[in-house]
Chains A and B, each alone.
Chain A
C-alpha cells in the first residue's frame, strides 16, 4: 500500500513510452535506420549535443562553483539569472537567438564582418543546445558543489595545496556524482531541443535536422517512420543515461 503512489507515478511516466514501443514494429525501426535521413539525424544529434555538453561542462563547472559559493543578494540574483532560461519557452528562445545572432540581429552585422552567418548552420544547433543545457547543468552542479565542506578545502590549503589544486582534488571529486547527474540533465535537454532549433537553425537534412526535427517532419507524412525515429531517440537517451549513471556510480566509489 505504501508503494502505491510510487507505482502510480511510475505507471503514468512509463505508459506513453510503453505505448510508443508497443506500437512500433522492429521492421519499422530497421527501415528507419536504413534511411540516410535518419542516420544523418542520429549523427547530427549525437555530435551537436555532445559538443554542446563539452562546452557546457567546460564553461558551466567554474560558473556552478562560483554560484555555489555566492551568498546574499548577489547569490540570489545569480541563481535567478540561471533559472530564467530554464522557464523560457523554446519559441521565445528561438526568436531571441534570431534577434541576437541573426543576420539582422544585434550582433549579425558584426558577425558578417568576420564572414560568419550563424542561422541555418550546425553551429546554430550547438549554440541553441548550449543555451538550453547550460542553465540546467549549472543549477544542478551548483547544488552538488554546495554540499562540499569548506573546511575540507581549508585543510587542503593548510597542507600546502594551492587554491586550484585544493579545488581539483577535494571539491571536484566530492561533487562528482552530482556533476555527472547535472551533465546527464544538460545533455538530455540539449538532445531534445526542438522549438528554438527550428526557428534559429532551420530544418535541413544532414546539416541542421536533428532527431526531434526529423520526427516532426516524418509525423506529417508517415506515422510509422515518426514512431521508429522516436524509439531510436529513446534508446539513445537510455544508453547515454545508463553510461552516465555507471560513470556516476564509479565516481561515487572513488570519492
Chain B
C-alpha cells in the first residue's frame, strides 16, 4: 500500500522539503522559484517557524530534507544526536529596532523610552541575539538602563515574525528584530544598532541524515551557497555567511 502511494506520488514533481527560520520567508520564496526553474520536476516545499521550534520538531522526527537555522546552536544539537549532517554557514544578518512607519526611530540608548517593547523568547535565535545586544549595551549604559528596558518588555514571542507582528499591528511600540524582517514586512521601519554592540548573526543549514531526497537536498544546499543563491539573499538584505 505504501509502495503504491510512493509510486503514485513519484509521477508528480519530486518534493524536497526545506524547513527554515521565519526570517527567511521571503528570501527562500525567491530561491525556491529560481531553484525550481533550474531543476524541472522538482517541487521545493517550504515551511517556516522559529528555529527552536523546527529543531524540536526535527528532534521528534519531522520528515524533511534540509534545515536552515538562524544560528549554529540548534543545528549543532541535532548534529550531536545524528539527525543532521555537518552544518555550514550561508548568510548573515543584523539586528534593528523596528517601529511603525511614521513613528520616531529608536536608538539603543533611548530604548527604555520607546514605550512598549516586544522581543523574542530566549530560546529563539533572535531572542538570544537580543540578549547578547542588551548585555553589550548594559556595559555601556549601565544597569538602570537595562532594568528600564526589561520593564518596557510587554511580550516575548516564539519567532521573529510574531515579534514584528505586534509592532506592525500597532499593539506594541518597538521590537528588536533582524534588519531583513523590518525590510520585508510592510508598515514598519528599522533603525540599525551600533556595530560595536551588535552580536554576530550567522545562518547555518544542513541536510537531514534521513532525508528522503539526499541528492536534491545537497543540490539545494549548494544552490543557496552558490552565486545565484547568494545574490537572491543579498537582494533581500542578508549579509554574506563568512
Chain A contacts to B: CB under 8 angstroms: 98, 102-104, 119-120, 202-205, 207-208, 216-217, 219-221, 223
Interface status of B110 (Cβ within 8 A of chain A): no
Residue of A nearest to B52 (CB): A220
Give the 10 A-B residue pairs with the shortest CB-CB distance, closest first. Answer: A202-B155, A120-B154, A221-B123, A104-B170, A220-B52, A119-B171, A220-B56, A220-B123, A204-B155, A103-B170
Interface status of B204 (Cβ within 8 A of chain A): no
In the complex, the answer to whether A203 meets B156 with C-beta atoms within 8 Å is yes
Contacts of A205 in B (CB 8 A): 156
B50 to chain A, nearest CB (A): 7
- Interface size on B, as a range, is 20 to 34
A144 to B52, CA, bound (A): 47
Interface bits B56-76 vs A (CB < 8 Å: 1, else 0): 100000000000000000000
Find the residue from A207, A208, A221 having the highest chain B CB count within 10 A. Answer: A221
A162 to B52, CA, bound (A): 63
A120 to B158, CA, bound (A): 15
Interface status of B169 (Cβ within 8 A of chain A): yes
Interface status of B233 (Cβ within 8 A of chain A): no
In the complex, the answer to whether A217 meets B170 with C-beta atoms within 8 Å is no
In the complex, the answer to whether B158 meets A208 with C-beta atoms within 8 Å is no
A221 to B170, CA, bound (A): 30
Contacts of B118 in A (CB 8 A): 202
Chain B contacts to A: CB under 8 angstroms: 50, 52-53, 56, 116, 118, 121, 123-124, 153-158, 166, 169-172
Given contacts A219-B56, A220-B52, A221-B123, contact A202 B154 (CB under 8 A): yes
Contact of A120 among B123, B124, B155 (CB under 8 A): B155
Contacts of A203 in B (CB 8 A): 121, 155-158
* 14 A–B contacts, CB within 8 A, in A order: A102-B170, A102-B171, A103-B170, A103-B171, A104-B169, A119-B172, A202-B157, A204-B155, A207-B154, A216-B158, A217-B123, A219-B56, A220-B50, A221-B123
Contacts of A98 in B (CB 8 A): 169, 171
Contacts of B153 in A (CB 8 A): 204
B152 to chain A, nearest CB (A): 11
In the complex, the answer to whether A221 meets B157 with C-beta atoms within 8 Å is no
Contact of A217 among B116, B158, B171 (CB under 8 A): B158
